[in-house]
Amino acid sequence: MAKQQAEQTFEAALARLEEIVTQLETGEVALEEAMTLYEEGVRLSALCQAKLMAAEQKMDEILELDGTLREKGGTV
């Protein structure tokens, strides 16, 4: 399952996380199932956060490169 989650897109992970939240908010889930869903939700949340951080880092690299090219008089 960990490998499957690592390959999961941000959008798919977020959609599944929203499903889990909806299920848990109903209060109609048995305790054992709620714990399993909660655990999956925590993993998905961490996955989403990691993907967002990676995207932010990539954007910072792109902007830094763009800024460096402009400082040296180059065009993009």
Taking only the tens place, the pLDDT of each residue in 42-73 is 999 999 999 999 999 998 888 888 775 555 55
Predicted confidence at residue 4, as pLDDT, reads 55
Q: Which two tokens stand for residue 6?
A: 């690592």
- Give Cα 69 to chain centroid, integer Å: 31
Determine the 3-state secondary structure of 37 from DSSP: helix
Predicted confidence at residue 65, as pLDDT, reads 80
Model confidence at 76, in pLDDT bands (50, 70, 90)? very low
